[in-house]
Chains A and B, each alone.
Chain A
Amino acid sequence: MNAAAPHRVVVTGCGAVSAVGATAGAFWEALLAGRSGIARLPRFVAARLPVTVGGEVAAVPVGRADRDVVLANRAIDEALDVAGLGRSALGFIWATGLDTYQEGDRGPVFRPAGSCFAALAHPFGEPRRMIAAACAAGTQAIGEAYWHVRAGHVAACVAGGSSCMLSPFYIIGFAALQALAADDGDDPSSTCRPFDRRRRGFAVSDGAGALVVESLDGARRRGAPILAEIVGFGMSQDRFDLNRPPEDGSGAERCLRRAVEDAGLTPGDVGAVNAHATGTRAGDLAEAAAIRRFFGDVWTEKPVSSLKGAIGHAMAAAGALEAVAAVATCRTGVVPPTVNLGDPDDGCELCHVIGRPRPDDGVRTVLSASFGMGGQNAAVLFRRLA
């Protein structure tokens, strides 16, 4: 690779494993259909947990200690199949979330996130980098891969994230932090309500999202499918508080702005936003404020959707799964709806996509944003290749 000139960077493969589908295609279809994968989990009911719902990935059943690795590799394998590449020639920039317990034959088995990463990373070439940015980690990993390929340090990378944090430990922990939506009524699928007046918190889910990120020149030489171009990446720190964002969303807005500046574009060039919006009171308000400030007068024209109502919050995988959806929007022009959003809250005013997908009306550029605990923000800008 030539490190002298920046390379254009494209996505040539996507893989997704989520609570609503175990392939990128099934995931996208479910998002367009407005389906929610949040369900009541009998094992949580039996354990009498304070919250008994979550977004479990049925395709990789609970009950094996290496479920974290299996789940991640499903998404990685799918992305590599689409791209037509093998692991050994690629870099690997990935987030595996936090340490967990997996269900083994003889009860819970402690699984450090670093061990999961090491198992996934070994077959890959250089670099093999593990990203730790809480809920922004998946997006951060994709952005780092983009910068790395753009600079010519590596020809191609697998980037994204995976998480298996839907366990009693995190249910109790996040419940203690009052971040989870408590059980409410007989319809667990409506637990998470991003931007909605009735939102009460998020629902934990498992998942994995993988992108193959490579140079445009390399992809063309190989005749690889080009799903979208990555044109910008931004990051910022809130520099405010460990547990909550500033109400005006200034840290998040700075991140969004940096992503479009990195692309040499302006906010007006962005067609749609795939929002982080987890359904917490403070987080959604700050994010809505950030998006309005970012767009200025044109915020009423820029569709915004969140996937958390459909798939829950997959932590380190969240940004990666949202990136898979953003790529699909770039390809099709269609913006999926925010599941469970019916009545946007005061302060959450945005150009929401409610009830059904927004049909193709020319959206070609999507900003996918993630905002992690502690105030770590990341956003990647995708565009249909002209």
Chain B
Amino acid sequence: MTYLVAAAERRSAAELPAEPARLRRDFRRFNLPVQLALAAATDVVPAAEDPASMAVVSLAPCQNGSPELYRWAEAALAAGSAGRFGATRMNPTHTLHVIDNLALSAFAIAYGSDGYCLGVGGAPGQAWCGMEILCERLAGGREREGLLMAGDQTRVADATGSRGVALLFSAQCRPYAALGRPVELVAIEHARRRSPSPVTAHAAAGLCDFLGAVARQGAGPFAYEVPAEQSDGTDHVTLVLRVA
């Protein structure tokens, strides 16, 4: 069984966590989506029994990069069209803004992760795959807790729509901090759509909306229909939950 026990959402890097110190030092090297994912993860870690041994699944941004990298790419494209691509220079730190697994690595360094760690790619709908993977891990008894974190942005040019989110799951029945009651994730069901539907590529937005729906629930069974645009466009996804 899988229970949602804590969650956090971040929309601003104004107050990044000061601890762990190692993470604080590394923050400046990341783009905003990765910063926000890590900040949200840091918010929920205190609810974990043993952060080092829990399963960690990190969703890569669907919109990688940063305003700094975007400006460089624009300049490079202009230089390239004039046959002067090689004249452009990149700040090495900005190269990191496109690497897909850095949130996971930074988290592992900060918290000494020695359990299952997986980076899931930035394709539409992969958030539900990440959640499914954690359910499999907890159901298999391989870990007792699992963290899912994601950060993304709507537009790379100015990092608008940046959000970070983290969800902590446990195999033990514990109350969800936001409701004060246990929230069990019973199943994740898939049904193939007759035809593909349009999707919105944002790794964190779907999880944030899901948390909003959970927060509005009273006791009892609850089926959360993932909006089509937040799925992978191929499957209809339903999260089956039970609020105690």
- Interface residue ranges, A against B (CB under 8 Å): 46-50, 95-96, 98-99, 101, 107-108, 112-115, 117-118, 121-122, 126-134, 137, 140, 144, 151, 153, 168-169, 172-174, 176-178, 235-242, 372-376
Select A128's contact among B26, B119, B129, beta carbons within 8 Å.
Answer: B129
A126 surroundings in chain B (CB, below 8 A): 190, 235
Q: Is A96 in contact with B121, judged by CB distance below 8 angstroms?
A: yes
Contact with A along B77-97 (1 / 0, CB 8 A): 100110111111111100110
A251 → B minimal CB distance (Å): 10
A153 surroundings in chain B (CB, below 8 A): 136
A114 surroundings in chain B (CB, below 8 A): 60, 62, 121-124, 126, 201
B218 surroundings in chain A (CB, below 8 A): none
- Asked if B112 lies at the interface with its beta carbon under 8 angstroms from chain A, I say yes
13 inter-chain pairs at a CB distance below 8 angstroms, sorted by A residue, are A96-B121, A99-B98, A108-B80, A115-B201, A117-B121, A128-B234, A132-B58, A134-B100, A169-B73, A169-B76, A237-B108, A239-B109, A239-B114
Interface size class of B (residues with CB under 8 A): 35 or more
Q: Is B109 in contact with A108, judged by CB distance below 8 angstroms?
A: no
Q: Is B116 in contact with A235, judged by CB distance below 8 angstroms?
A: yes
Q: Is A48 in contact with B85, judged by CB distance below 8 angstroms?
A: yes
A241 → B minimal CB distance (Å): 7
A47 surroundings in chain B (CB, below 8 A): 80, 83-86
Q: Is B196 in contact with A122, judged by CB distance below 8 angstroms?
A: yes
Are A98 and B100 CB-contacts (below 8 A) given A132-B120, A177-B95? yes
Q: Is B122 in contact with A132, judged by CB distance below 8 angstroms?
A: yes
Q: Is A239 in contact with B84, judged by CB distance below 8 angstroms?
A: no
Are A240 and B109 CB-contacts (below 8 A) given A98-B64, A114-B124? yes
B114 surroundings in chain A (CB, below 8 A): 236-237, 239
A239 to B115, CA, bound (A): 11
Q: Is B122 in contact with A375, judged by CB distance below 8 angstroms?
A: no
Centre residue among A49, A113, A173, A236 by max chain B CB count within 10 A = A173
B109 surroundings in chain A (CB, below 8 A): 237-242, 375
Q: Is B76 in contact with A168, judged by CB distance below 8 angstroms?
A: yes
A129 to B80, CA, bound (A): 35
B232 surroundings in chain A (CB, below 8 A): 118, 121, 128
A87 → B minimal CB distance (Å): 12
Q: Is B81 in contact with A107, judged by CB distance below 8 angstroms?
A: yes
Select A239's contact among B88, B113, B122, beta carbons within 8 Å.
Answer: B113
For B79, give the chain A residue with the smallest CB separation: A47
B119 surroundings in chain A (CB, below 8 A): 131-134, 137, 140, 376
A376 to B76, CA, bound (A): 30
A113 to B117, CA, bound (A): 21
Of residues 25 through 64 on chain B, the ones whose CB sits less than 8 Å from some CB of chain A are 26, 29, 58, 60, 62-64
Are A108 and B77 CB-contacts (below 8 A) given A242-B26, A374-B99? yes
Seed contacts A114-B123, A122-B233, A132-B119; 9 additional CB < 8 Å A-B pairs:
A48-B86, A98-B98, A98-B99, A130-B126, A132-B121, A133-B100, A235-B116, A237-B105, A241-B109
